[in-house]
A and B are shown apart, each in its own frame.
Chain A
């Protein structure tokens, strides 16, 4: 175990034990702040309740990621190959992020209903931006000498894209995707808060109304675990795709 691992583990243990001791020592009621052991107990022993909701939220997030990729990959490529399109579209991109997703949520639920479609779209709106921007940045970062070499070899745009720009931009793409998947849960959960019949966000609202604060915390714990799992998975894909980093 590395030094930094030990430090972060220590910090977590200190926070959790302070929390636990405070709850027990001061007899804080469960509906205000449950102790960590109790939250963990709910997260584990009531997983039959949590699991179906988590599956719905996970599905929304995964579909949101795919929808975001489906938009971001062509968008970044077109914007890169046509600077005039980039100039025309960038204000809209910025506006799409300047509008708080909270403000959009009620509208999307009205338009797309209480099902998963509105949540998928919410997640996608949040994710596509970092992916598009970082991929575009990656394309632009490509060394001009390499571009010139490809030009002298007589390479067309798609040859250059396939053999040069795309592999060059991959590290940028993955850092954008990592940012995207970590904030993806926000979109899905807000969508579920506003109107849903399933999902961890829905579960949280229901539990909150009944003062089942331990269940709210358990849902948060599950959400964090899902975010972490996606982060780890994207990291795994990154190492797989950027295979030449493993060569050295």
Chain B
């Protein structure tokens, strides 16, 4: 279980969050939804250790840690593929750096196959579409040995069609590789389609306004009546914050 208790971070007079807590059960998928500028990215910066927390406790699988850097895989809106490496070499970067190369090429090739990237292993990133680059970034994220995955708006740069197919890939791969996922997004529908639990956030200081637990039936359809009602409700809440 990932647990964050009473986390505090401020920059000068600006308190981004104070007493912020959340838990993600092992194997769970929690999404954080909030208006832009509410401090979601700062939360990820604190979790990954890019900036130091002022106060509070972060623990993963019962072990209290300073931050989750080196314990979590991380994926964001930009694919961050290196132009001087082929798609396959980009995907193999985490294992190449950690030195655990055994079986890594097989795993990567399998994932390329699963995500429809077979035949493009040796292509340079610049020669393939944005959707393919993001799929490659997803493969790289799964190549991390870590069970915990932090997703920072991972699909928001993609067009609607590509995004939809990647969402279903993400779900399948989560259950297949038993990953625990914490995702931040401003796409309410995406959060409702993918997550087991959605936390609606309020800004200044950031806090959880509402927890929405979703039933475990996946994949869900965006057109389901129940989901549409929740989406409308969440959007109203978020608009009320602005």
Interface residues of A (CB under 8 A from B): 143, 145-146, 148-155, 159, 163-164, 167, 243-244, 247-248
Q: Which of B54-62, B68-76, B188-196, B220-228 binds A?
A: B68-76
Which of these, A150, A243, A248, contacts B126 with CB under 8 Å?
A248
Nearest A-chain residue to B98, judged by Cβ: A154
B19 within 8 Å of A (CB atoms): no
Set B74, B78, B82: member contacting A152, Cβ < 8 A:
B74
Known: A145-B80, A167-B82. A248 touches B97 (CB 8 A): no
Which residues in B have their C-beta under 8 angstroms from that of A167? 82, 84
Per the bound structure, the CA–CA distance linking A146 and B98 in Å amounts to 17
Report yes or no: B69 in contact with A145, Cβ–Cβ below 8 A: no
CB distance from A159 to the nearest CB of B (A): 5
Asked if A153 and B144 sit within 8 Å, CB to CB, the answer is yes
Rounded to whole Å, the gap between the CB of A76 and the closest CB of chain B is 19
Cα-based distance from A96 to B75 in the complex (angstroms): 45
Q: Is B124 an interface residue (CB 8 A)?
A: yes
B135 → A minimal CB distance (Å): 17
> Shortest beta-carbon distance, B49 to chain A, in Å?
8
Within 8 A of A (CB), among B18-77: 48-50, 69-70, 72-74, 76
Chain B residue numbers with a CB within 8 Å of A154 are 70, 97-98
B127 within 8 A of A: yes
Residues from chain B with a CB closer than 8 A to the CB of A159 are: 97
- Given known contacts A145-B80, A163-B93, is B127 in contact with A153 (CB within 8 Å)? no
Q: Which residues of chain A have C-beta atoms less than 8 A from B96's C-beta? A: 163
Q: Which residues of the other chain, B, contact A143 by a CB distance below 8 angstroms?
A: 80
Select A244's contact among B50, B73, B84, B94, beta carbons within 8 Å.
Answer: B84
CA distance A159 to B126 in the complex (A): 23
**Which residues of chain A have C-beta atoms less than 8 A from B94's C-beta?**
153
Q: Mark B163-200, 1 if CB is under 8 A from A, else 0.
A: 00000000000000000000000000000000000000
Interface residues of B in 78-109 (CB under 8 A from A): 78, 80, 82-84, 93-94, 96-98
Residues of the B chain whose Cβ atoms lie less than 8 Å from the Cβ of A163: 82, 93, 96-97
Summed over the interface, the residue pairs from A and B with CB atoms below 8 Å come to a total of: 50
Taking CB atoms, residues of chain B closer than 8 Å to A248 are 124, 126-127
Asked if B127 contacts A247 (CB within 8 A), the reply is yes
Asked whether, in the complex, the Cβ of B126 is within 8 Å of the Cβ of A148, the reply is no
Q: In the complex, what residues of A have CB within 8 A of residue B82's CB?
A: 146, 163-164, 167
Least CB distance from B28 to A in Å reads 21
A153 to B94, CA, bound (A): 6
Report Cα–Cα, A146/B85, bound state, in Å: 14
Contacts of A145 in B (CB 8 A): 76, 78, 80
Complex: A149 Cα to B70 Cα, angstroms: 10
Q: Are B50 and A148 in contact (CB under 8 A)?
A: yes
Nearest residue (CB) in A for B83 is A244
Q: Which A residues are CB-close (under 8 A) to B144? A: 153
A167 to B124, CA, bound (A): 15
Docked Cα-Cα span, A146 to B80, in Å, equals 6
Q: Which 7 A-B pairs have the closest CB atoms?
A: A247-B124, A248-B126, A244-B84, A155-B97, A167-B84, A153-B97, A244-B83
Inter-chain contact B93/A247, CB cutoff 8 Å: no
> Which of the listed residues B72, B96, B97 has the most CB atoms from chain A within 10 Å of its own CB?
B97
Q: Closest residue of chain A to B123, judged by CB?
A: A247
Contact of A152 with B69 in the complex, beta carbons under 8 Å = yes
B74 touches A247 (CB 8 A): no
Task: Specify the chain A residue showing the minimal Cβ separation from B77.
Answer: A145
Bound together, the chains give a CA A82 to CA B211 distance in angstroms of: 46
Q: Mark out the residues of chain B between 138 and 156 whose CB falls within 8 Å of any chain A CB in the assembled complex.
A: 144
A residues in contact with B72, CB < 8 Å: 152
* B-side contacts of A146, CB under 8 Å: 80, 82
Residue among B48, B82, B127 with the most chain A CB within 10 A?
Answer: B82
Residues of B within 8 Å of A153, CB to CB, are 93-94, 97-98, 144
> CA separation between A60 and B105, bound complex, in Å?
49
Closest-CB distance, A184 to chain B (whole angstroms): 28
Contact between chains at A243 and B84 (CB < 8 Å): yes
Assess the B48–A152 pair: CB atoms within 8 A: yes
CB distance from A245 to the nearest CB of B (A): 8
Looking at the assembled complex, report how far the CB atom of B173 sits from the nearest CB atom of chain A, in whole angstroms: 19
